[in-house]
Amino acid sequence: MRGGTALSGLLTRVHLAGFARLLVYLRPYWKGMAISVSSGTFHHLFAIAGMALAAYLVGLAATGGGREQIWPFLPVLALLVTLRVIMYFTDMYVAHEVAFRILVEFRIKIYQAVERVAPAYLLNMRSGQLASTLMADTEVLEWFFAHTAGSFLVAVLVSLVTLVMLGLVHWLLPLAVLPWMIVLFSVPFWLRIRADRQGRDTRDKLAEINSEAVDGVQGLREIISFNYEKGFLDRLRLYSDRLGHSLVVYGKRLGFEGAMLNIFSSLAIICVLGLSAYLIVNGRMGYSWLPVAVILSVSIFIPILEISNMARNFGIITAAVDRVYAVMETPETVRDSAAGAPAAVPKAEISFGEVWFRYRNELPDVLKNVSFTVGEGETVALVGHSGAGKTTCINLLQRFWDVQRGRIAIGGIDLRELPLEYLRGLITVVPQDIYLFNASIMENIRLGRPEATAAEVREAARAAYIHEFITGLPDGYDTVAGERGVKMSGGQKQRIAIARALLKNSPILIMDEALSSLDTENERLLQKSIKNLRRGRTTIIVAHRLSTFRDADKLVVLDNGEMVETGTHAELVSKGGYYSSFISSQAAAAS
């Protein structure tokens, strides 16, 4: 009893404490888990009873038993086999249904966590690493929910019942088996620290190669254009070798633990055989019970070996749990602590008041005492060289981060006093890099307002001057855009983004480099669609091209995170200051 208590304490201290967070997810499914554990227990017990009965019949036949003694047991044997099959099916079905339902919850929670902390979290994680956490690491948790949590209880229950059955053959036999049971349960925890370290290393190496593979797919055009196929394959081979080495190291430890499990279970059976032979020789046990004793001793270790073999992979499971919770428990960059939406829609007027910001404490300030206003219905362009702080301004306006000092307000209300969902409903962004989902064009435009009718989508497309192009496609609005919109040109994708923005119909518009790298015809159509989009909206334009921002109502000129000038294009040119030098350098570069 002391040994069992010590083992229980060991399990609790070592790994079950680490899995406590996972066990919480089983609570809503306790009925399913109860069915799984019960059916799993009966599956093993019916199998053991069937094998023990068959062994007894063999022993009976070997000691001269006749047909009249054996035949009555055959229907019982057939019933045990049938019940075992039914219980096995029930166990597998219910356990995996529970596991897969929980995995759905995990994937949703991980995505919600990423959405909550984006884009700050994504700055430090490659897309392949995130995909590995969302898919591969979450899938590993299936091992725990379907094959570990319930299986541990099954192993304990079946082992105890089988010990009692073995004791019915002779009371000394369980004493020969019990010490080996405790040893077998402890084997996976001998090298626990090494297993955890190796598991983390293996999952990290897998994430690295996933990241490389994603890079290769996303950058395939550049790889081919620059004849970098061999170089990329060399990089992929390097990461593959690292993963392979990590798996080999992990496999060596698995092999050692597996060998120990086989050695100890074999020694246990030898002990039972020796003790049984001693009892038979001394007339304390019938010879016909020898096969039964052997079968029961073997059967005791079947569920224990199953759970022990699974426990050998606790290193990978633990690493997957840590990586999943690292995403789920990442602190949010901004707190949505607003009490509720304002009673009336705030005036679409934007003000930056003495704003200071840096992305991390150890980094320099990106914005330094920036102040400007954008009146309702006014178009303001943020102008400056790359790194001046333009994109940071629009990121702060959407509250992807919060300012360190100063305030940003809409209609005089500090952004921090507005619920995030409400705030982002006030703003529409047309970015430079348009993302189109691998869905129909209708659904891609409807992203702006999911409840919009087909007629409203078409009206938005007409205003964005993209309707004729869409209707010219073989399937019209039902045409699948293709992953990342690969079936369309840059200008066509940007006009679809403008149709989205028109459909959303927010009072504030942000345009981030929306006219970059377009041909003349696409730029002409895009300029017309932008004119429709800007009408009546408060607009902030981020651009480098003079043709994009020269007609803005006001320019805010940024340099190295500071606002150096503000005014109209004509006013700033006549000053002959920083802005004048900026557009002169643009003209020189263009010529």
DSSP 276-290: HHHHHHTTSS-GGGH
Q: Is residue 432 within 8 Å of 513, Cβ to Cβ?
A: yes
The Cα 450–Cα 453 span in angstroms is: 9
Closest CA to 151 of 25, 305, 263: 305
Which residues, including other chains, have CB under 8 Å from residue 407's CB and lie 6 or more apart?
A: 353, 354, 355, 414, 415, 416
Strands 405-410 and 562-567: unpaired
DSSP H/E element including 374? strand 367-374
- The domains of the chain, with CATH numbers, are 18-328 (1.20.1560.10), 350-431+506-590 (3.40.50.300)
Cα angle vertex 52, ends 57, 302, to 5°? 150
Helix axes 30-62, 149-169, angle to 10 degrees: 30
Q: Is residue 114 within 8 Å of 327, Cβ to Cβ?
A: yes
In whole angstroms, how far apart are CA 427 and each of 40, 348, 350, 422, 515?
55, 10, 11, 9, 19
Mapping DSSP onto H, E and C, the string for 48-111 reads HHHHHHHHHHHHHHHCCCCHHHHHHHHHHHHHHHHHHHHHHHHHHHHHHHHHHHHHHHHHHHHH
Which residues, including other chains, have CB under 8 Å from residue 201's CB and lie 6 or more apart?
A: 246, 249, 250
Q: What is the pLDDT of residue 54?
A: 83
CB atoms within 10 A of CB 230: 9
The Cα 40–Cα 179 span in angstroms is: 24
Helix axes 490-504, 520-534, angle to 10 degrees: 10
Q: What is the pLDDT of residue 454?
A: 92
What is the amino acid identity at position 240?
A: S
The Cα 300–Cα 271 span in angstroms is: 14
Q: What is the pLDDT of residue 564?
A: 92
Q: What is the pLDDT along the chain (591 residues), one digit of tens a residue?
A: 334 434 334 334 444 545 667 777 778 888 888 888 888 889 888 888 888 888 778 777 777 666 777 788 888 888 988 998 999 899 888 888 888 888 888 778 877 777 776 665 555 555 555 666 666 777 777 777 777 777 778 888 888 888 888 888 888 888 888 888 888 877 777 777 777 787 778 877 887 787 777 777 777 767 776 677 788 888 888 888 988 898 888 888 878 888 888 888 888 888 888 898 888 888 888 887 888 888 888 888 877 777 766 666 666 777 777 777 777 777 777 787 777 788 888 898 999 999 999 988 888 899 999 999 999 989 898 998 888 888 899 989 988 888 999 999 999 999 988 988 899 889 988 887 788 888 889 999 998 888 999 999 999 898 888 898 889 888 889 988 875 555 677 778 888 888 888 888 889 988 886 555 455 556 667 677 777 777 788 989 887 667 667 778 899 999 999 999 999 888 888 888 888 888 877 655 555
φ, ψ for residue 560, nearest 5 deg: 55, 40
Which residues, including other chains, have CB under 8 Å from residue 428's CB and lie 6 or more apart?
A: 448, 500, 501, 504, 506, 508, 509, 510
- DSSP annotation of 313 reads T
The DSSP result for 480-501, as a single string, is B--GGGTTS-HHHHHHHHHHHH
The Cα 402–Cα 52 span in angstroms is: 70
119: preceding bond cis by omega (within 30 degrees)? yes
Cα angle vertex 253, ends 249, 257, to 5°? 165
Which residues, including other chains, have CB under 8 Å from residue 267's CB and lie 6 or more apart?
A: 180
Radius of gyration of the chain measured on its C-alpha atoms: 34
Handedness of CA 211, 217, 219, 223 (dihedral sign): positive
Burial class of 469 by CB neighbour count within 10 A (0 to 12, 13 to 18, 19+): middle
In whole angstroms, how far apart are CA 184 and each of 14, 210, 268, 540?
16, 36, 10, 68
Which residues, including other chains, have CB under 8 Å from residue 302's CB and lie 6 or more apart?
A: 44, 158
